[in-house]
Amino acid sequence: MDDLLLLILSSPSGAGKTTLTRRLLARLPEFTFSVSHTTRKPRAKEVNGEDYHFVDRTRFEELVANGAFAEWAEVHGNLYGTTLTEIDRARKQGCTGIIFDVDYQGARQIKATRKEAVGIFILPPSLQELERRLRGRASDDEDTIRRRFDKSLVEIEHYPFFDYVLVNDDVEHAVATLEGIVLAERTRRWRMAARAELLLREGVVR
């Protein structure tokens, strides 16, 4: 295991993980965002290569066949996946952490091969608020809204799989909580062991 902190953020659609991810990245410039591939259409203001790599289903399936993904899944009728090169890119850029914005299926796949990855599940304050947020998206039609809302309980059922659970009832408080989790994970014994052992070796030499 290396010192690159793998931070997984997951939530039902509309719980605010994209907003929280952007706020956390603004506070932690040494982190980078894992840009996933998806077959869904871009929403307003989304930028190809920054928010997602937008590809068609044929290209996505080619990447699957070539073993390019660390994780991938079909969500709400669209394919989403994280390529293995994202972790390598973060390490080469000298980042200390990388944030994955994935669903519970993607989180499970990442944790299956990278057990040190830290999973955080984000809950909405209530289902009523979740529906309100989903309806606030001008890009989604009624069928899409209902499908995402109906899927939310299935997604919430997977919260026990994650290391941390937080309620996004106030964005600033939620971001501060996320930052606190990062700071706590930075001081895990296994991450600090090399520094402690160095001090012990110095003591022996003296």
Name the token pair of 160. 């026990």
For residue 175, the tally of other CB atoms under 10 A from its CB is 19
- C-alpha distances (whole Å) from 2 to each of 21, 31, 96, 115, 182 are 23, 15, 10, 12, 16
Distance CA 185, CA 163 (A): 11
CATH 3.40.190.10 fits 5-205, yes or no: no
In terms of DSSP H, where are the helices of 45-188? 57-65, 85-92, 104-113, 127-135, 142-156, 171-186
pLDDT mean by block of 10 residues, the chain; 206 residues: 85 90 95 94 88 94 93 88 90 94 90 92 93 79 85 92 96 96 94 91 80
Q: Which of 88, 79, 74 is nearest to 34 (CA)?
A: 88
Please say whether the dihedral angle defined by the alpha carbons of residues 191, 32, 57 and 144, taken in this order, is positive or negative: positive
Distance CA 170, CA 146 (A): 24
Q: Indicate the domain borders of the chain.
A: 5-205
